[in-house]
Amino acid sequence: MTPKDRVYRHDAPGENEVAAAATDIEPYLAPYDENLLERARNQWQFGDWQSLSQIDIGALQHHPDRAKLALLAASGHLQTGELSLGKKCLRLAQDWGLGRGLITRILAAGVHNSLARASVLSGQEQRALIHFETSVAVGSPGGDRHLLAMARIGHQISQFKLPGGLGKRLEGLSLAADQGTAVNISASRERLPVIGVFTRMFDRCRPYMNQHLLGDLDRVREHGIRKILDGAGGQPENIVAELMTIQGSRLALDAPLRFLQNYDIPILLREILIDEVYRFNTVEDTPLIIDGGANFGLATYYFKKHFPKARIIAFEPNPDLADVMQENIHANNWRNVEFLPYALSGASGVATLNVPRAMPMGGSISNRLIDRRKDMMQYDVVCQTLGQYLDEKVAYLKLDIEGPEVEVLEQSETKLGNVARIFCEFHFGDDLSPDRLPRLLSLLERTGFRYTLGAGHWDVSGKQPFNYLEAAKFGKSLNVHALRPDAK
């Protein structure tokens, strides 16, 4: 490219010169660079803010893309600290007819890039990765955001020094992608988003972690990031679960909990501590909470963490889990927790509890999984109805009982007026009646609840939902949250 092809300036104009660009219209049609916009877009994607700030606004009067170029120039000025010039360019972009939507998107992307740079300077490399990728995704939604994020990191990483050698690792991935190495391009596509998700999950779990047992939590998190960069560790929730597990079968929470099977832990951590599907607010100091399907006690722990004085009635019929649950109650000295080793059902009596050996959380008195998993354990368990426990006001009813939830609620319909909030994990299954969901929703409406339906089972139903319906292996589920309008 020859100098005459460029419309970049070498010396920054004063603010008056930038403002004058909007009014000094030449009496003839000046030539313009047809490739300027494409070049500027590439510079934006790579984070080449210095080059963008060199765009000569005064030469754009007759450029057909002057509004977009003014916006990109503004982003360059803002990222290089030239705030006044950035604002002037933004005003020109608006005056030249650029829509608010695009301006807002590019500004939001710039905020994320600034946050990424600040995170790098403060040593928060994993947070920087999230913001770099978000910046590209917001500002350039049609591109391959993962590769573009890697390219931007590669361009900007030389300006900073990431702690712990992570800068070199990330720079290496960027260079590999730039060189077109197929294997490394694939890796770069996969690892950055995994790091972002892992970091979010780790940070959501962090307030519950036991630093005395785990050590420096920043180092623990960095270890997880290293595993991802090295191509190890699997799904981010699995990495979080692995990092929080000690002695093979204990979660290193501030109230340590023993558990039975590793398979259950990533799922339960994600649902309870990360996504907080059981979260609720109340003015009550000692709310009564019923935990139907308590497993080894993670939900009970969560409730006690947020409501230390809560009264909790916890049901868990699996005898192996019941032993672990009682051990955790006593080890953590949880007060006002009543444990009952019963299955909740639509009728009292005795039933067979079918438990997948590798997935204790799937235990059910229905047969919804029995044909899908050969390795099943079976126990004769005592069943009780819920209604007898609803004679007083219940702040929160949690039901995750793998199948009989509708029958349990129907049996207690006349008592549901005492319940302020219900969380119900609704399960589908080949052996379960197909009319159960409309029955449940009709019941909630009859008894005065407002409700919402949310995706269950890893929250995948919102992404290509037909694939979810066709491919779900263990029967599908929905999260039903129901609230009485006068709940306090």
Average pLDDT over residues 171-188: 42
Q: How far is residue 487's CA from residue 69's CA, in Å, rounded to a whole number?
A: 53
Query: Which one is predicted more confidently, 469 or 300?
Result: 300
The 8-class DSSP code of residue 389 comes to G
* Residue 18, pLDDT above cutoff 50: no
Q: Which two tokens stand for residue 227?
A: 């595993």
Q: DSSP secondary structure string, 148-162?
A: HHHHHHHHHGGGS--
Label residue 336 by pLDDT band (50, 70, 90): very high
pLDDT band at 15 (very low <50, low <70, confident <90, very high): very low
pLDDT tens column, 60-93: 888 999 999 999 999 889 888 888 998 999 999 9
pLDDT at 184: 44
With beta carbons less than 8 A apart as the criterion, state whether 144 and 131 touch: no
324 pLDDT more than 90: yes
Q: CA–CA distance from 286 to each of 19, 282, 299 (Å)?
A: 63, 10, 17
Give CA–CA dist 454/438, Å, rounded. Answer: 15
Total length of the chain: 488
Percentage of the chain beyond pLDDT 90 is 43
Q: Residues 75, 44: contact at Cβ < 8 Å? A: yes
Confidence of residue 225 (pLDDT cuts 50, 70, 90): confident
What is the pLDDT averaged over residues 196-222? 87
- The answer to whether residue 196 scores a pLDDT higher than 80 is no
Better pLDDT: 125 or 277 = 277
Query: With bands split at pLDDT 50, 70 and 90, how would you rate the model's confidence at 350?
Result: very high
Give the range among 127-136, 174-183, 189-198 with minimum mean pLDDT. 174-183
pLDDT of residue 359: 78
The fourth-level CATH superfamily of domain 285-483 is Vaccinia Virus protein VP39 (3.40.50.150)
The pLDDT of 230-241, averaged and rounded, is: 83
The three-state secondary structure class of 25 is coil
The highest-confidence range among 5-19, 390-404, 467-481, by mean pLDDT, is 390-404
Phi and psi, residue 243, nearest 5°:
-65, -30
> Mean pLDDT, to the nearest integer, of 369-373?
61
pLDDT surpasses 70 at 149: no
450-472: b (≥16 Cβ within 10 Å) or e: eeeeebbbbeebeeeeeebeeee
User: pTM score, two decimals?
Assistant: 0.64
Q: What gap in Å lies between CA 147 and CA 90, rounded to an integer?
A: 28
Q: Point out the least confidently predicted range of 55-64, 137-146, 330-339, 403-412.
A: 137-146
pLDDT band with cut points at 50, 70 and 90 for residue 155: low
Convert the pLDDT of each residue in 426-466 to its tens digit: 988 777 888 999 999 999 999 999 999 987 654 544 556 66
What pLDDT does residue 8 have? 36
Using the predicted structure, report yes or no on whether residue 275 has a pLDDT greater than 80. yes
Average pLDDT over residues 35-57: 81
Taking all residues of the chain, what is their mean pLDDT, rounded to a whole number? 80
Strands 396-399 and 421-427, sheet pairing: parallel
Confidence of residue 303 (pLDDT cuts 50, 70, 90): very high
281-289 average pLDDT score: 96
The 10s digit of each residue's pLDDT in 381-431 is 999 999 999 999 999 999 999 889 999 999 999 999 999 999 999 988 777
Q: What is the pLDDT of residue 467?
A: 63
Q: Give yes or no for residue 201 having a pLDDT over 70.
A: yes
pLDDT band at 174 (very low <50, low <70, confident <90, very high): very low
**Both tokens assigned to 432:** 């379960």
pLDDT above 60 (res 23): no
> Residue 482 has what pLDDT?
97
Give the residue extent of every domain in the chain: 3-98, 111-251, 285-483
Rounded to an integer, what distance in angstroms lies between the CA atom of residue 387 and that of residue 364? 20
In terms of pLDDT, which residue wins out, 315 or 15? 315
Residue 7 pLDDT > 50: no
